[in-house]
A and B are shown apart, each in its own frame.
Chain A
Amino acid sequence: MADPLLLAAYILIFPGFLFLFAYSMVFEFLDRRIVARMQNRVGPPFFQPFADIVKTLGKEVIDPEGVDRPIFDAAPIVALAAVMTAFLYVPVIGASPLAFQGDLVLVLYLLTLPTLALMLLGWLSRNIYAAVGGVRAVTMLFIYEVPFFLALVMPTLMAGTWSVSEIMAWQKEHLWLAVLQPIAFVIALIGLQAKLERTPFDIPEAETEIVAGPWTELTGRRLALMHLANQSAAVAGSALIAAVFLGGPALPWASGSAVLDAIAGFLLFLAKTLAILLILATVRGATARIRLDQLNVIGWKYITTAALAQVAIVLVMNAWEVGA
């Protein structure tokens, strides 16, 4: 896609930012609807996320006294920007045009920025709940980040490349990586659930213990942007896992025209990301919130050892060329 106009359209409109916001609203709507149906409730109408964001944008912005305004404004914007750029490298309608060797690592690091922004917000808002919430957010980061990175690095061992699009292409000839590396797939899902701070891992934002954690002092557009960043991270995360583990938008057989490919790829992308959303929402509806020290025990004792076991298995498989 050398043509700059088409590239700009790719980035700004279709599989770029506009699509990301729209799809993150659809994601949130489906998530709330699934959990509501699990709880025997009707759930919100389809335009609810859009109305929530527009309303919060229109609310008055209150700065807690003595807070450092510029950074307090900048943190949500940085979080949203990080997630938006991460989404560009994730294939949506076929290999992403901006792909390069190592964009998997870039996407992973960009996806951790929202948590750091949350920590900054919690620490800056001079509110005891927010500070405790911020510290919890970062403590949790150390627990789930190691297995999450391991789980997403293992496909590179097998596929032999560091680019998300090439891993996706590699899966065209071979089985899906979710089949070849099931443990890594499960750990990636757990990591995504923890990264998005959804029950059972919504410890920083534990509504009943520390009011709203780092979110307590956010009002008006800061709250809207941070909420959008969180939802977009959900889309970007599940798109990443869909691409890396479930083959992403690549079609096994190459049909005639490129446009048909793109449409079929896009439908595959939608199906896979919604499947991941279904898993995340069911887990959110069916579990209680575990404590930070319990998460610490589970995180290090079970999840990380499982990830290391998976690495050993992958090395063995590579040695015997099982996958190739």
Chain B
Amino acid sequence: MTRVVVPIGPQHPALKEPVNFRVIADGERIVELELNLSYSHRGIEKAAEQRDFIRALPLIERVCGICSHSHTTAFSKGIEEIMGVEVPPRAQYIRTIIAELERMHSHLLWLGVAAHEVGFNTLFMWTWRDREAIQDTLEEMTGNRVHYIMNEVGGVRLDLSPLQVEAALVRLPVLEERIRAYVEMVEAEETMLTRFRGVGCLSRDEALCFGAVGPTARASGVDYDVRRDDPYLAYAEIPWNVVTDTNGDVYGRTRVRIGELGESLAMVRYCLEHLPDGPIRVSVPKTAPPGEILSRYEAPRGELVHFIRTNGTDRVERIDIRTPTLANWTSVAHCLIGRPLADVPVIVAAIDPCLSCTSRITVSNRGEDAASGTPPRTGWEG
């Protein structure tokens, strides 16, 4: 068959966000791929430079709707380190609780969307129904289902009353039992397995070479997790372990994410039970001394990096946000080459793209016919 250019997006039901793929398919097999992600570029970094620390937080929170807490924590953690401010332990614990709750609801959201991509709507409905329990907990703690704006440079805005802690603890056992049900379902549901197993394979050194981050990398055996490598917030004191998998395809990523769900739940329970008392905020000078920090944070999709440069004023001289999805696009482009057209949504969904975080493009063109399965050259032609 002749080569067909199939544009997918920006308006496409599979993609919850505007991305445009120009997939050049030979019959049903993908030969070449061009992504264009400039649809959700808003120019946040330029605007953040014109706002002081207090006004910058709501803007930076809205880089992405699902991992909003990640961005504000990374930003405020960086500024606090430049200022040399010591955040009270209770604030660290509350930030960790919100961070892990956000990871849980993000992973449940992803599990549902991945199932929806392959047409398994029942799991889509179930996972999102259970996600509502986490949304209720977050709403009780912070007042909003999404965009919690809990963080502030120097600590946390709202305190957790014993009632809130109690209400959160009550919901955890139900969620635990549901997560166990999903583990069995992912193993047993045959039709979903045929769509997940062996799709979008990424070997360990390919994952390293193409710079995959987060669950996408951990599913291929790459053992990177910022919470353990560069511990921040209260992760050093909490007993938890990194979930990795070896079979590197969409199925492996599903297992890693469900494993992380269980880990996060245990972490939230531990933090809620061992919540230290004390102040939740420390007064912070208005301006930050000149300095530079590479603030790394383990967002639900992977390693989020804020490079912050301050120049002694109350504003940031430069903030460079590199989001996990940006790092994963290269590996997605690699995984897609040679796959049938029907797998595009599944593989793209496998890295759980958060396009509002990124607006980058990668061009991958193997030059030779990928259908023949010849090993791809490392060079990336335009």
Contact = CB atoms under 8 A, between A and B. Distances in A.
A–B touch (CB < 8 A): the answer is yes
Interface of A: 35, 38-41, 128-129, 132, 199-200, 202-203, 206-209, 211, 285-294
Given A128-B6, A199-B119, A292 B342 contact: yes
B115 A288 contact: yes
A291 B14 contact: no
A288 B192 contact: yes
A129 B119 CA distance: 17
B122 A38 contact: yes
B119 A206 contact: yes
B13 A40 contact: no
Given A41-B125, A209-B344, A209-B345, A291 B195 contact: yes
B126 A40 contact: yes
Contacts of B211: none
20 contacts: A35-B121, A39-B125, A40-B126, A128-B4, A199-B120, A202-B119, A207-B14, A208-B119, A209-B344, A209-B345, A211-B12, A211-B13, A285-B122, A288-B118, A288-B119, A288-B191, A289-B118, A291-B195, A293-B340, A294-B194
Given A39-B122, A132-B6, A290 B341 contact: no
Contact of B195 (A39, A40, A207, A288): A288
B7 interface: yes
Given A202-B119, A209-B342, A292-B28, 11 more contacts: A39-B121, A129-B6, A200-B119, A203-B342, A208-B117, A208-B118, A288-B119, A288-B120, A288-B189, A289-B120, A290-B194
Contacts of A293: 28, 340
Interface string B101-135: 00000000000000111111110011001000000
A268 B119 CA distance: 34
B343 interface: yes
Interface string B330-361: 00000000001111110000000000000000
Which 10 pairs show the lowest CB-CB distances between chains A and B? A289-B119, A288-B120, A208-B14, A39-B125, A288-B192, A288-B118, A288-B191, A287-B191, A291-B342, A208-B345
Contacts of A132: 4, 6, 341
Interface residues of B, number: 30
Contacts of A39: 121-122, 125-126
Contacts of B121: 35, 39, 199, 285
A15 B7 CA distance: 46
Given A39-B125, A41-B125, A209 B195 contact: no
Contacts of A35: 121-122
Given A39-B126, A128-B6, A132-B6, A208 B195 contact: no
Contacts of B195: 288-291
Contacts of B341: 132, 209
Interface in B2-60: 4-7, 12-14, 28
B288 to A, nearest CB: 46
A208 B8 CA distance: 10
A202 B118 CA distance: 11
Contacts of A38: 122
Nearest to B121: A39
B343 A291 contact: yes
Nearest to B4: A128
Contacts of B117: 208
B342 A287 contact: no
